[in-house]
Amino acid sequence: MTVAANNLAVLRQKLETAKAVFDANRIGEAAQAYRDIINDNPDQPDALYMLAAIAYRMGKIELALQLYEETLRVAPNFSPAWSNRALILRLLGRDEEALQSGRKAIACDPKQADGWDITGLILRAKRQYPASLQHHVRAHALNPGNQHIQNNYAVALATCGQLSEAYKAAKAALAIDPAFAIAELTIGNIFGERGWPEQAVAHYRKASMLDPNFVEAVASEGRSLMLMGDLEEGWAKMEKRDYDEQRFSSTPRWQGEKVGHLLLNAEQGVGDIIHFFRYVPLICDRVQNVSFEVPATMKHLIGAHAPDSIIVTPDDPLPTADAHGLLMSLPYICKTRLNNIPAPIPYIHAKEEWRAPWRERLKTLSRPYIGIVWMGNPLYANNHNRSIELSQVQPLFDTARPCLVSVQKGSTTATASNAGIFDADPWLKDFTDTAGLIAELDLVVTVDTGIAHLAGAMGKPVWTMLPFTPDWRWMLGREDTPWYPTMRLFRQKIPKDWPEAIARVVAELRKYISGDQSVLQPPQWNGKVLRQNPCALQLPEEVSN
């Protein structure tokens, strides 16, 4: 045997020994073994790759990225290194670089399932759902025996509305690994999407039993419970949700005790901020001073309603406080149930200086003034379900065009103008502008966005169009809501079937424009709390039997 051949054999033996130690979960020993290999062979790609994997497992994300990039320097076509680099870049929020890295993994080795899988995940995060599904189909075909790939395939199917196939894929992931908690979460989500929240709760609980630290499973259970009207238990589950604890680590978490200065973090979306702002007066008996952290677009609106408070944004330094709390935790602290929901409508008011400019701008329109919103924030994960394509909204435009005002934010100026309706977007700089406009409108017709909450909190008649699987707060079956007495709910009866729901809105809109004020009143609730969607899709055969 030549010296070179002997050295290669020794290197292979060292790599095999290090890998065996790694597989035995002796991470420290494995790291030392790979470092020893690198000392003798500085450009050995397998050792660099495994050191990167060890760094990732130890939570040293930046170091792992450096080591994967060092691997690729010496082995540019090392497909798994490109895949794992994409994974880390995604974790770091560098999505474009991550996507390029995932595609490079596929180009280097189209038969490597991981490249297709991570690229599919990145495309899903970018809301490119059909393309994401195509990539997960390829990953699944290449490696159907991997539970993670099976589950990602299931989620991609569900996101594209293929719920029956998604259920089968998630069950297959569990067949591979019966203790795979994420697959139980996926199955729970699928049952929720089909209109069966009670069955969803059972799977969320299984996920929590399999992984007691699975925060999303607990929070998902909480949302399903509240969808069924079980608010008190639901709030308690929701207290397990994630938020930026590190930012608030200098002050203790508030549990409802008496404090001098409370800093409330509005960690949820704009709609949630408006929704739960109603609770602030209810805690004044135990808090002397309240300050808020809110998004920049909400700073002036909240400041106007809390003039003695300090209002900061996530980019500002935090004020000194005795404790920090979460705005969405106030219903839990106040022990809210269905029979004691506070609805002090209106609790958001528009100042005269916010309203006055709109009177001049709207005077060319016909009364009644009707605001319309058909799209939500594209950054919201479920936006594709709650938003409506422009072509489907056309019947609303045709019915009420002379009265319509687009309250739609973002890149819609040409869309609204081309549709022949007044576009308010150029003047909507923050939510004080929006509140001023809503105060001048007679009715707001919207999908489930912050505008729905703002109009409801201001006591304005508002018709909210809901997807088949609604957000928890709207519950099931009701055409009214205890949160906003002036709101009517128009629900999809079949998933993704907006035309039928819009046809009902159009029929009521015609009545209203012709002078029938009675259509503004929400139908009275019959008092029955539903635990499944009245239009629920058929259960999978193995479950219904």
Q: Which domains does the chain have, with CATH numbers?
A: 146-228 (1.25.40.10), 246-340 (no CATH), 352-520 (3.40.50.2000)
Task: Please give the pLDDT value at position 21.
Answer: 79
Residue 442, C-beta contacts closer than 8 angstroms, at least 6 positions apart = 367, 368, 369, 370, 461
Task: Name the band, by pLDDT with cuts 50, 70 and 90, for residue 410.
Answer: confident
Mean pLDDT of all residues in 242-254: 92
pLDDT at 413 exceeding the cut of 70 = no
Task: Please give the pLDDT value at position 417.
Answer: 66
Per residue in 336-359, pLDDT tens? 999 999 989 999 999 999 999 999
Give the number of other Cβ atoms within 10 Å of residue 408's Cβ.
Answer: 25
What is the pLDDT of the chain when averaged over all its residues?
93
Task: Name the band, by pLDDT with cuts 50, 70 and 90, for residue 369.
Answer: very high
Q: Cis bond leading into 346, ω under 30°? A: yes
The region of weakest confidence among 390-404, 410-424, 472-486 is 410-424
Task: Please give the pLDDT value at position 26.
Answer: 87
Cα–Cα distance for residue pair 145/138, rounded to 1 Å: 13
Mean pLDDT of all residues in 213-233: 96
Which SS3 state, helix, strand or coil, does residue 11 take?
helix
Per residue in 260-289, pLDDT tens? 999 999 999 999 999 999 999 999 999 999
Task: Please give the pLDDT value at position 253.
Answer: 96
Task: Please give the pLDDT value at position 234.
Answer: 97
pLDDT at 409 exceeding the cut of 90 = no
Task: Please give the pLDDT value at position 228.
Answer: 97
Mean pLDDT of all residues in 387-393: 91
Per residue in 289-345, pLDDT tens? 999 999 999 999 999 999 999 999 999 999 999 999 999 999 999 999 999 999 899
Instruction: Burial-class residue 231 by CB neighbours within 10 Å (0-12, 13-18, 19+).
Output: buried
The answer to whether 463 touches 521, Cβ cutoff 8 Å, is no
Cα–Cα distance for residue pair 315/296, rounded to 1 Å: 9
pLDDT at 507 exceeding the cut of 90 = yes
Task: Please give the pLDDT value at position 328.
Answer: 95
pLDDT at 122 exceeding the cut of 70 = yes
Task: Name the band, by pLDDT with cuts 50, 70 and 90, for residue 541.
Answer: low
Largest CA distance in the chain: 98
Q: List helix spans (H) across 327-372.
A: 330-333, 352-362
Per residue in 39-71, pLDDT tens? 888 888 988 999 999 999 999 999 999 999 999
Task: Name the band, by pLDDT with cuts 50, 70 and 90, for residue 543.
Answer: low
Q: Which two tokens stand for residue 177?
A: 């690994």
475-485: burial string, b at 16+ Cβ within 10 Å, e else: bbbbebbbbbe
- Note the pTM of the prediction, 2 decimals: 0.91
Q: Which two tokens stand for residue 114?
A: 């991981």
The answer to whether 394 touches 502, Cβ cutoff 8 Å, is no
Q: Regarding predicted confidence, which is higher, 417 or 414?
A: 417
Task: Name the band, by pLDDT with cuts 50, 70 and 90, for residue 539.
Answer: confident
Per residue in 456-501, pLDDT tens? 999 999 999 999 999 999 999 999 999 999 999 999 999 999 999 9
Give the number of other Cβ atoms within 10 Å of residue 67's Cβ.
Answer: 27
Mean pLDDT of all residues in 148-166: 96
Task: Please give the pLDDT value at position 2.
Answer: 65
Task: Please give the pLDDT value at position 23.
Answer: 83
**H/E/C letters for each residue in 512-533?**
HHCCCHHHHCCCCCCCCCCCCC
Per residue in 64-115, pLDDT tens? 999 999 999 999 999 999 999 999 999 999 999 999 999 999 999 999 999 9
